[in-house]
Amino acid sequence: MAGKSKTLWFCKNCGAESAKWMGRCSSCGEWNSLIEEPVYKETHKNRFSSSAISSVRPQTLASVTIPKQDRTDTLNGELNRVLGGGIMQGSIVLLGGEPGIGKSTLALQTAMNLRDIKTLYVSGEESLFQIKNRAERVARPNENCWFYTETLLEDVIHQCQELKPDLIFIDSIQTLYSGQLEAPPGSISQIRECASQLLRYAKTTQTSVILIGHITKDGVLAGPKVLEHIVDVVLQFEGDHYHVYRVIRPLKNRFGPTSELGIFEMRGEGLREVTNPSELLINTHEDALSGIAIGATIDGIRPFLIECQSLVSTAAYGTPQRSCTGFDARRLNMLLAVLEKRASFKLASKDVFLNMAGGLKVEDPGIDLAVIAAIMSSNADLAIPRAYCFAGEIGLSGEVRPVQRVDQRIAEAQKAGFKKIFIAGNNLRGLDVSRFQIQIEGITKVEQLVRKLFG
């Protein structure tokens, strides 16, 4: 079969291959996910004999020496945080995100800021002129940072063998292609082949590799799940294009927790680390405004304070409008129903709009109390004092339920200069209140909150 091209069917979801089309993937069960792609030009035998692993022999663990410094500091606190304390030597990290979110910017900045190690930035998307243009804006010149614009994988690996960089950035994995396959760049078989060849190179030479990957419209890493199995760490870059905040979440990490969160701000001079998100997610209005409440929330293990903004107005037409950004619409409806029942809020005659500051998405139910406070504040057109903040989940009968990690939330609120925090009464149990200077008020029911805030 040498030289003759052949096609196979690949599942877009799990990457499983099949010799014929099927309506449903036999591996992951997804419907209508099989796509046809051309595969190998050469026989499998040639493919393996020509790979980079030829110098490696089986060995016993006794002969394996563990390198002393096993993590590389990326000199970027937020990136280190999501990597679990720097990038593990010889590991492959996949940085995924929608186009335009800032992946190339982050990679370029990181590559150029590292002065003590040799970095190589491989770009298949931008020309050297474009890169230089951007680099001049976002970083200082660095003689130890190399650039290469190439999309043929074998050339990239050859150059890596020559240059011997300590850290390689590939922008992006979807533009790379291996000459051994006939499939076009970006196809499942190419992505899988390129990633596994890079993996082999990384493991045999103890070089770290950061792969940039685009995300498809429906939010999955294009190329697809197969990549997630191959790499050691999967980082997802998220954010709203209309806002300056960007968040990196580890979806998988073989060397650290996946509950961390890295926060960045996109500026004219590139991405800036946000070490104290609370300060940025709260607007400093001169006067207190109605419809605003500050929630002490937590994402993974990172506490921060966020401003909830609400606008309640009389519905102009028959059906009242409900709209929210950064918050689950169904949860908003539930909270409104609770308010109607418990706080005589006239649901049917009001339009309700809700916004989380900074374009961040908040999934933590501990934000409920702040959401309710913001809605009630707008409804009554009475401002909540600027020094108050909230952390509590609301149950269907209007009870305020305890939240996890309440001490961290309180500490964060205190750090940000708040004078009083409302939490669930049950959260007070076992909590050493004397540890905090901030006033802590426990409440058990929504009605109670309304009375306390607006009399």
Pick from 386, 394, 441: which is nearest to 416 by CA? 386
Smallest distance, ligand TYD to C-beta of residue 143, A: 21
DSSP string, 292-320: EEEEEEEETTEEEEEEEEEEEEE-SSSSP
| Nearer to ligand TYD (CB atom), residue 97 or residue 392 | 97
| Nearer to ligand TYD (CB atom), residue 270 or residue 366 | 270
Other residues' Cβ atoms within 10 Å of the Cβ of residue 69: 8
Q: Of 270, 291, 365, 402, which lies in the binding site for ligand TYD, with binding defined by CB under 6 A? A: 270
Smallest distance, ligand TYD to C-beta of residue 224, A: 18
For residues 239 to 268, the per-residue mask of contacts with ligand TYD, x marking binding by CB under 6 A and - elsewhere, is ---------------------------xxx
Q: Of 104, 110, 175, 253, which lies in the binding site for ligand TYD, with binding defined by CB under 6 A? A: 104
| Nearer to ligand TYD (CB atom), residue 79 or residue 424 | 79
Smallest distance, Mg ion to C-beta of residue 171, A: 6
Per CB under 5 A, residues contacting Mg ion are: 104
Sheet strand arrangement including 7-11 = 17-18, 7-11, 34-38
Smallest distance, ligand TYD to C-beta of residue 95, A: 9
Residues written for the chain: 455
Q: Which of residues 201-240 bind ligand TYD (CB under 6 A)?
A: none
| Nearer to ligand TYD (CB atom), residue 41 or residue 103 | 103
Residue 49: Cβ-neighbour burial (10 angstroms; 0-12, 13-18, 19+): exposed
Smallest distance, Mg ion to C-beta of residue 211, A: 12
Encoded amino acid at 360, one letter: L
| Nearer to Mg ion (CB atom), residue 104 or residue 414 | 104
| Nearer to Mg ion (CB atom), residue 76 or residue 104 | 104
Contact 350, 335 (CB under 8 A): no
Q: Given the rule CB under 6 A, which of 6-14, 133-141, 184-192, 425-433 is the region that contacts ligand TYD?
A: 133-141
138 binds ligand TYD, rule: CB under 6 A:
yes
| Nearer to ligand TYD (CB atom), residue 147 or residue 327 | 147
Backbone angles phi, psi at 73, to 5 degrees: -70, 125
Smallest distance, ligand TYD to C-beta of residue 125, A: 8
Q: Of 90, 97, 124, 402, which lies in the binding site for ligand TYD, with binding defined by CB under 6 A? A: 97
DSSP string, 197-238: HHHHHHHHHT-EEEEEEEB-TTSSBSS-HHHHHHSSEEEEEE
Other residues' Cβ atoms within 10 Å of the Cβ of residue 202: 21
d(CA 237, CA 263): 10
| Nearer to ligand TYD (CB atom), residue 97 or residue 165 | 97
| Nearer to ligand TYD (CB atom), residue 36 or residue 269 | 269
| β-strand pairing of 34-38 with 245-253 | unpaired
Smallest distance, Mg ion to C-beta of residue 125, A: 5
Smallest distance, Mg ion to C-beta of residue 123, A: 8
d(CA 211, CA 194): 10
Residue 326 contact among Mg ion, ligand TYD, none, beta carbon within 5 to 8 Å by kind: none
269 binds ligand TYD, rule: CB under 6 A:
yes
Q: How large is the angle between the packed helices 188-205 and 153-163, nearest 10 degrees?
A: 10
Q: Is the peptide bond before 33 cis (omega within 30 degrees of 0)?
A: no
Q: Given the rule CB under 6 A, which of 134-142, 255-263, 327-335, 421-429 is the region that contacts ligand TYD?
A: 134-142
Smallest distance, Mg ion to C-beta of residue 140, A: 21
Q: Of 29, 85, 99, 219, which lies in the binding site for ligand TYD, with binding defined by CB under 6 A? A: 99
- E runs forming strands in 53-203: 71-72, 87-88, 92-97, 119-123, 145-148, 167-171
Q: Which residue has the tokens 């590389």?
A: 72
For ligand TYD, the binding residues (CB under 6 A) are 97, 99-105, 134, 137-138, 266-270
